Chain A
Amino acid sequence: MEIQIKKVDLRIMKADSDKVLTNGETYSSVGGHIYLGTNDSPDNWYEITKDEYESILREKELKLRP
């Protein structure tokens, strides 16, 4: 019998509770975490306010109407 111990390294960025992380194209949840892919960099991500995020979502939703 053998016991293996594995360690998993994750690069986690956490938004402040009322902020959203974005790279300009994709968005975290409000106050959420993102887990960086191997080719991604923290420099690609920045915070925006919840209000800014909701405004962006509203604009995207308007564009979806046929």
Chain B
Amino acid sequence: MSVQQEKFKVIADKIREKTGTTELIKPNDFAEKIDEVYDSGKKSQYDEFWDSFQQYGKRTLYDTAFCGSGFNETTFKPKYDIILKGGAYMPFARIAVKSLKKIEEENDIKIDFSGLASAEYLFHYSNIEEVGVVDLSNVTHPFSTTFTQSTNLKTIDLLILNNNGSQTFKTGCFQGCKNLEEVRIQGKIGNNFDIHYSSVLSYESLMSIITALIETQNSLTLTIGQNNIDKLSDEDIAIVNNKGWTIA
């Protein structure tokens, strides 16, 4: 073997080591293979970070895990499903990502909220514009700061509550969500519900909320604000009132 051939073999061996292959590599292919080495390095770093950060998919406690503007569309590329359990505190607060739905689709993962017992500061001050399915049916702690100051939030595809209406909502839950237009509710609302900060809710969103209201012998209040009240017909309002709810 000539000196040049030996040197080529050293280079080819190094490429095979870094890319994890055993294939024959010709010198004419070195330039292309260098790109594969770079990509392989990137993948290796990606795996190293997310395997550790998500504990190989076993992580369930995500307190402040994705809190802050450092997590954006470029950096937030989870490898495993994000399974939230217990009382995750501020997991997506202040996150710069615009769409959690797109993150799920692009990374082929699911964000599972159904194990949460508390949703405090869940999306507090986030930059999010749309979320997909947010299953909060097992939350027992009052919703007081769940979407607070998510001022860019436009769409909640589906907010899942429990089916007995026992969950409580404080005024702050949707405080500042001034751009929220579309929200669909599955489950029941059985305590005072205040979403008046979201003055541009669509009629369909209002009807979804109204449909979720339980019938009550008590006196409960649905606070949606005058802009939203003006979108309802007298018949719509009568439906709410006859369920035992005052509209404010």
Contacts and interface: CB of A to CB of B under 8 A. Distances in A.
B54 interface: no
The size bracket of the interface on A is: 20 to 34
Contacts of A38: 241-242, 244
User: Main secondary structure on chain A at its contact with chain B?
Assistant: loop
Interface in B160-207: 171-172, 175, 192, 194, 196
B235 A8 contact: yes
Contacts of A25: 192, 221
A64 B134 CA distance: 21
Given A26-B221, A66-B124, A35 B171 contact: no
Interface string B232-248: 00110110111111111
A40 B219 contact: yes
A34 B227 CA distance: 12
Interface string A1-22: 0000010111100000000010
A23 B235 contact: no
A26 B241 contact: no
Contacts of B221: 23, 25-26, 37
A65 B90 CA distance: 12
Interface in B111-157: 121, 124, 144-145, 148
Contacts of B242: 37-38
A27 B197 CA distance: 12
Interface of B: 90, 93, 121, 124, 144-145, 148, 171-172, 175, 192, 194, 196, 216-221, 223, 225-227, 229, 234-235, 237-238, 240-248
14 contacts: A23-B246, A26-B248, A27-B248, A28-B248, A29-B226, A29-B248, A33-B226, A33-B229, A37-B220, A37-B243, A38-B241, A39-B216, A39-B219, A66-B93
The 3 nearest A-B residue pairs measured at CB:
A29-B226, A32-B226, A26-B221
